[in-house]
Structure 1
Amino acid sequence: MSDGARGDGSKYVVVVVEPETPGNVGTIARAMKNFGLSDLKLVDPPELEEDGEAYGFAGHAREDVLPNAETVTFDEVVERYHTVGCTAITGEDARRHVRFPFRTPAELRDSLATVEADTALVFGREGCGLNNDELARLDEICSIPASEDYPVLNLGQAATVTLYELRDLFLAGTQLPDVEHERAAEPDVERLYEQFSAFLDRVEHRDHKRERTERLARRLVGRAHPTEKEVSTLTGVYRKATRDLDEADLDRGSSGGSRGDDRDRRANPGGGVEPDSE
């Protein structure tokens, strides 16, 4: 899904009411292009000159989103769309309904996924945002959680954060790889566990700790969701370490020593091998 279109044929648009700064309009246009939207509506906008601030801030959105922006009235937006008003200030409790109840952008994403209608995301002025009369005419209210000491975001920033949180509604995919699908196949992960177990055999890990060590390794790798390359590399490291230990034992055996003798000498450094007790 892209360009704000949905599977049911409805679409998303962004509306900015009486923006004061062309640069913020350009920033919003750029955020729209970043997150899969293209339909920008402006209510009483400033002059947007092609060599001015708006186009300078728009990035590649200067090629399509910004020049295709449509000037509309607030009444037209209310009449044509399911509307979501974005505001920093909300009511304190349920006794006031102009700005309450409200949703955060993340909560709004789940709500809008069930709305089968053209939807407008409405942002207000830099200085005072959307006023109460305007908010009273809109269908839903959205507010970004921020510090209670200073909850007011710059207009461009607020739109960018909101569109980012809603991006799954607009975008079919992103430039990032699918992390879940990049996880190594389970048989490869199991081979890693088997090689780790073989390594523990060669270093003679204490039997009473063996089960716990293998369980901890399984939990650690399970949480990490390693890639195929990561699993392959670790498996190779443990395989080589195990092989090196085998070769070291062969070298000791050919020179007349043994691993058992080494352990006994460490246990009895003052003399020969102690006899077994009866």
Structure 2
Amino acid sequence: MPDDTDRNRSDDSDTTLPTDRTTPAVAVVDAQSPGNVGTIARAMKNFGFEDLLLIDPPELDPDGEAYGFAGHAREDILPNATEITFDDLVDNYHTIGCTAVTNEDDRSHIRFPFSTPADLAERLPTVEAPTALVFGRERVGLTNEELERIDEICSIPAAEEYPVLNLGQAATVTLYELRTLTLDEGDTQLPDLERVRAPEPMYDRLYDQWADLLEEINHPDEKREKTMRMLRRVHGRADLTKREANTLLGLLRRATERPAERSETDQSSR
């Protein structure tokens, strides 16, 4: 765990470590594939993370695989990544080691206890220290020796018979679950889904129109009360908007009028 004093990373940039943010950095330990580093950078860009830390990384050629996989993250996250040592990481950050396999219970504490990414999304905002999500190698992940030095463990729930994810996949799933730390609803590409419920007088008109239709089609009297109660509950759960309620009113009105129209047509044809 870091204290409240500023420390410097052991790289040539002499960048001062943050001490008061809750948005985690993303640390990748000894990745073998430049493509996975690029994939992680891209996922960071997708979900609002900015600070990429690399421990013993492969060569990241601007014309190579990492930048090819990074998408728009090639413009900022990847070129601004900081190379540090594992010692610097555990000394200066509250670290969360991500591992697929726990295989332990409360009798051992190298890989136990653990949180899921969803658990972390709720708890990390309370950690008043710079935090880092730590992802390990493609083949073996983080070693037990590394996990012993890490503050806590995170594991993605997956099928028991095959819980191991690709490095890039694991980072993407974890960052997606933690996006609430970085993105507000208005910060995503999705339209505003806030729905305005139709006013109650419109609901009353809708229920009156249903009652008229039941009468027009000679719905059994003994069933009408129960049917209206069911319709009220269906519409209540739906939280209809004004436009939706208007559309239903028009359809019900037309359906109610059709029997009368057919009757008039039949009489005139005689």
TM-score, scaled relative to structure 1 = 0.81
Mapped partners of 1:194, 1:137: distance in 2: 68
Mapped partners of 2:109, 2:252: distance in 1: 63
Q: Alpha carbons of 1:198 and 1:118: their partners in 2 closer, same or farther (altered >3 Å)? A: farther
Q: Alpha carbons of 1:51 and 1:175: their partners in 2 closer, same or farther (altered >3 Å)? A: same
Give a deviation string over 1:213-269, Cα, whole Å, max 9, x none.
1222233333344444433322221122123334445556x6599xxxxxxxxxxxx
2:198 touches 2:245 (CA, 8 Å); kept in 1? no
Q: 1:202 aligns with which of 213, 216, 222?
A: 216
1:84 is paired with a residue whose SS is strand
Mapped partners of 2:81, 2:204: distance in 1: 55
**Residue equivalent to 1:75:** 87
Mapped partners of 1:246, 1:36: distance in 2: 60
Q: Alpha carbons of 1:9 and 1:189: their partners in 2 closer, same or farther (altered >3 Å)? A: farther
1:87 touches 1:143 (CA, 8 Å); kept in 2? yes
Figure out how many residues of one structure are paired with residues of the other and give that number: 248
Structure exhibiting the larger radius of gyration computed from Cα positions: 1
Q: Alpha carbons of 1:60 and 1:193: their partners in 2 closer, same or farther (altered >3 Å)? A: farther
The alignment status of 1:185 with 2:216, answered yes or no, reads: no
1:138 positional shift: 1.5
**Residue equivalent to 2:183:** 171
Mapped partners of 2:211, 2:81: distance in 1: 63
2:115 is paired with a residue whose SS is coil
Q: Aligned Cα RMSD in Å?
A: 2.2
**Residue equivalent to 2:13:** none
**Residue equivalent to 1:35:** 47
1:9 positional shift: 4.6
Q: Alpha carbons of 1:225 and 1:27: their partners in 2 closer, same or farther (altered >3 Å)? A: farther
Q: Alpha carbons of 1:227 and 1:26: their partners in 2 closer, same or farther (altered >3 Å)? A: farther
1:141 is paired with a residue whose SS is strand
Q: Alpha carbons of 1:115 and 1:218: their partners in 2 closer, same or farther (altered >3 Å)? A: farther
1:182 is paired with a residue whose SS is coil
Mapped partners of 2:203, 2:49: distance in 1: 40
Mapped partners of 1:118, 1:186: distance in 2: 47
1:91 touches 1:97 (CA, 8 Å); kept in 2? no
Mapped partners of 1:172, 1:114: distance in 2: 18
What amino acid is aligned across from residue 77 of structure 2 in structure 1? V
Mapped partners of 2:109, 2:50: distance in 1: 32
Mapped partners of 2:239, 2:163: distance in 1: 37
1:201 positional shift: 2.3
**Residue equivalent to 1:239:** 253
The within-5 A match list for 1:23-172 is: 23-172=35-184
What amino acid is aligned across from residue 44 of structure 2 in structure 1? M
Quick one: percent identity of the two aligned structures?
A: 60
What amino acid is aligned across from residue 141 of structure 1 in structure 2? I
TM-score, scaled relative to structure 2 = 0.84
Mapped partners of 2:241, 2:168: distance in 1: 37
1:93 touches 1:100 (CA, 8 Å); kept in 2? yes
Q: Alpha carbons of 1:190 and 1:143: their partners in 2 closer, same or farther (altered >3 Å)? A: farther
2:211 touches 2:228 (CA, 8 Å); kept in 1? yes
